Amino acid sequence: ANPSILILPGDGIGPEVMAEVKKIISWYGDKRELAFDVSEDLVGGAAYDVHGVPLADETMAKAQEVDAVLLGAVGGPKYDVLDFSVKPERGLLRLRKEMDLFANLRPAQCFDALADFSSLKKDVVAGLDIMIVRELTSGVYFGTPRGIFEENGERYGVNTQRYTESEIERVARSAFELAKRRGNKVCSMEKANVMESGILWREVVQRVHDEEYPEVELSHMYADNGAMQLVRWPKQFDVIVTDNLFGDILSDCAAMLTGSLGMLPSASLGAPMENGRPKAMYEPVHGSAPDIAGQGKANPIACILSFAMALRYSFDQGDEATRLEQAIEKVLADGVRTADLMGPEGGTPVSTAEMGDKIIA
């Protein structure tokens, strides 16, 4: 059987950028005999409009069945007034939670043609290719007790950073497995100097390394130093593995090393399924961009690079993924730009569809 993909375009520019990915998927079927069984469904506000919930049960069930989910973006001003329980984001959170997608992969990769776009000096970022692995399903965003309580006439807020050994082990394994296919180097970041969860994190990552991945180079770094090093000399890293909170912040920081939000893909992976493929969802980092939605201005590259990650991590098509990335590099080197990639000197931007067509060409 062909590998299966569930496409959830979502809201705003989600369907616009996903249209370009659909063209590329068709191209693979027509031109490279790499056919996928593609189905499509609703998520976010689009699902709420039809079903009254941001993710229908049938859609959730489909997501559990397929080899990979591709998601566009969710949300928009129209839905800001909705109750928290049916907000578009809840559709996304439900997918992540029920598929148990515990490893969030955020590459920071600098295309040479866009090196001038970085807020850093060109030689600091040119050729940059690092991967941040953020633990996504545990830690301080989920730990209990949590809440706002009162004591002695004063309120206080509580969140709890809690990690079990097995939670640390599985995300560490994801990072080591990735490193083996890349630069063979992992840097683990925590704050073992001031946090017990950090002490355990460091100990468990080291043990997984020593027992299962002794051939991978492992280092440890305090997360605050990690933030400095990411900006000072990011090319010292290959794979960075860190917890949910530090990963949230460090991956946003790393993302900006490379320029536009419209260029950033992500993958969220879970445990292997029966066929050996990991549970997986791929999505651009950006949101639904209501300010430019419906105008054909959106940059589809983040979504296309997310599909390239699917080729690599779900479908064992690393060579095709590289070729797709090279096509993007070539188009950018030729000076083709969507509006978000134009500097102050200006020029004529291409539309979302034109960018997709150039990449295919």
- As annotated, the active-site residues are 141, 191, 224, 248, 252
- Among 3, 97, 4, 13, CA closest to 55: 97
Q: Does 81 appear as a known binding residue?
A: yes
Residue 286 interacting with ligand NAI (CB under 6 A) = yes
Q: Count Cα atoms within 13 angstroms, Cβ side, for 296.
A: 7
The entry of ligand NAI, Mg ion, none near residue 340 (CB within 5 to 8 angstroms by kind) is ligand NAI
List 298, 324, 331, 336, residue binding ligand NAI (CB under 6 A): 298
Q: Is 287 in the site for ligand NAI (CB under 6 A)?
A: yes
**Shortest gap between Cβ of 252 and Mg ion (angstroms)?**
5
16 binds Mg ion (CB under 5 A): no
**Two structure tokens written together for 256:** 């900006």
Residue 288 lies near ligand NAI (rule: CB under 6 A): yes
Q: Is 282 annotated as contributing to ligand binding? A: no
Closer CB to Mg ion, 14 or 356, in the complex: 14
Give Cβ neighbours of residue 312 (< 8 Å, ≥ 6 apart). Answer: 318, 321
The entry of Mg ion, ligand NAI, none that residue 74 binds, CB within 5 to 8 Å by partner kind: ligand NAI
DSSP letters spanning 54-120: SS-HHHHHHHHHSSEEEEEE---GGGTTS-GGG-HHHHHHHHHHHTT--EEEEEEE--GGGGGGSSS
Q: Is 229 annotated as a binding residue?
A: no
- Residue 255 annotated as binding site: no
From 250, 340, 350, 356, residue interacting with ligand NAI (rule: CB under 6 A)? 340
Residue 325 in the binding site for Mg ion (CB under 5 A):
no
**Binding-site partner at residue 248 among ligand NAI, Mg ion, none, CB < 5 to 8 Å by type:** Mg ion
Nearest of 251, 213, 211 to residue 234 by alpha carbon = 251
Q: Is the peptide bond before 278 cis (omega within 30 degrees of 0)?
A: no
Q: 106 or 297: whose CB is closer to Mg ion?
A: 106
Q: Does 269 bind ligand NAI (CB under 6 A)?
A: no
CA distances from 330 to 107, 261, 335 (A): 19, 19, 9
Contacts of 46 (CB under 8 A, 6+ apart): 9, 10, 11
Euclidean distance between CA atoms 171 and 244, whole angstroms: 11
Structural contact between residues 216 and 185, judged by C-beta atoms closer than 8 angstroms: yes
Least spacing, CB of residue 249 vs Mg ion, in Å: 7
Q: Is 7 in the site for ligand NAI (CB under 6 A)?
A: no
Alpha-carbon distance of 101 to 177, in angstroms, equals: 16
Give, as ranges, the residues between 233 and 262 that touch Mg ion (CB under 5 A).
248, 252
Residue whose CB is less far from Mg ion, 34 or 227:
227
Angle at 312 between CA 311 and CA 315, to 5 degrees: 55
Kindly state whether residue 135 participates in binding Mg ion, applying the rule CB under 5 A: no
Question: In this structure, are strands 265-272 and 103-109 parallel, antiparallel, or unpaired?
Answer: antiparallel
Which of 38, 47, 74, 255 forms a contact with ligand NAI (CB under 6 A)? Answer: 74
What gap in Å lies between CA 85 and CA 92, rounded to an integer? Answer: 12
293 binds, among Mg ion, ligand NAI, none (CB under 5 to 8 A by kind): none
Q: In the complex with Mg ion, which residue's Cβ is closer, 3 or 44?
A: 44
Least Cβ distance, residue 107 to ligand NAI (angstroms): 16
Residues at the site binding ligand NAI, with contacts judged by CB under 6 A: 13, 17, 73-76, 92, 261-262, 283, 286-292, 298-299, 302, 340
- Give binding residues for NAD(+) as ranges: 76-89, 287-299
- Give binding residues for Mg(2+) as ranges: 224, 248, 252
